[in-house]
């Protein structure tokens, strides 16, 4: 006699967006989008003219159209892509001019000054060794400062 099958309760289906986005971070909307290349400029112009049932079919049709396009016709889209790229670069440069840089920390100021000194005194020394030496100097100075603060009860 075969064993009896136990009926399992059917669980409600999981929300697909919940499980997909569980471990992912939300993308920042502040980030600039990349400029379109010539093919995407072509797609932007031609997609509304295609009537297909789904995106896969329309993409295949548009891909075939792009392959059959002559080099002269493709140049029109290349110029549009170059204009988008120039606009993108100009906008990016304007944003970088406006953006304020954070001042260097005390450690970074010390490192910048001392690293240049150590390298000028020892030109044959590798960067990693010089960096290590300056970091040890900072550590020694930091310990002295901390000891002084403890003795003076300064926080």
Which residue ranges make up each domain of the chain? 34-98, 106-150
- State the Rg of the chain over Cα: 31
Quick one: angle between helices 55-68 and 38-46, nearest 10? 120
Instruction: For CA atoms 104, 105, 108, 110, give the dihedral sign.
Output: positive
The pTM score is 0.49
If one counts every other C-beta atom within 10 angstroms of the C-beta of residue 42, the result is 22
pLDDT tens across 121-135, in order?
Answer: 998 999 999 999 989
pLDDT tens across 60-118, in order?
Answer: 999 999 999 999 999 999 999 999 999 999 999 998 888 877 888 888 888 889 899 99
| Closest by CA position to 43, among listed 62, 67, 71 | 62
Overall CATH class of domain 34-98: mainly alpha
Task: Give residue 7's pLDDT.
Answer: 58
If one counts every other C-beta atom within 10 angstroms of the C-beta of residue 86, the result is 11
Task: Give residue 75's pLDDT.
Answer: 95
Residue 44 in this model has a pLDDT that exceeds 70? yes
Task: Give residue 8's pLDDT.
Answer: 57
CA distances from 93 to 22, 31, 85, 88, 97 (A): 36, 14, 12, 9, 6
pLDDT tens across 25-37, in order?
Answer: 776 667 888 999 9
């Amino acid at each position: 006699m075969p064993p009896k099958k136990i009926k399992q309760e059917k669980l409600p289906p999981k929300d697909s967006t919940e499980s997909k986005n569980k471990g992912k971070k939300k993308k920042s909307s502040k980030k600039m989008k990349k400029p379109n290349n010539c093919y995407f400029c072509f797609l932007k112009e031609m997609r509304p003219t295609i009537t297909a049932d789904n995106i896969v079919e329309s993409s295949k049709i548009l891909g075939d159209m792009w392959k059959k396009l002559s080099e002269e016709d493709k140049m029109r889209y290349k110029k549009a892509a170059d204009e988008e790229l120039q606009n993108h670069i100009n906008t990016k440069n304007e944003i970088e001019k406006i953006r304020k840089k954070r001042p260097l920390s005390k450690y970074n100021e010390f490192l910048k000054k001392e690293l240049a000194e150590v390298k000028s005194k020892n030109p044959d020394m590798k960067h990693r060794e010089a960096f290590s030496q300056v970091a040890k100097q900072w550590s020694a100075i930091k310990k002295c400062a901390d000891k002084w603060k403890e003795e003076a009860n300064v926080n």
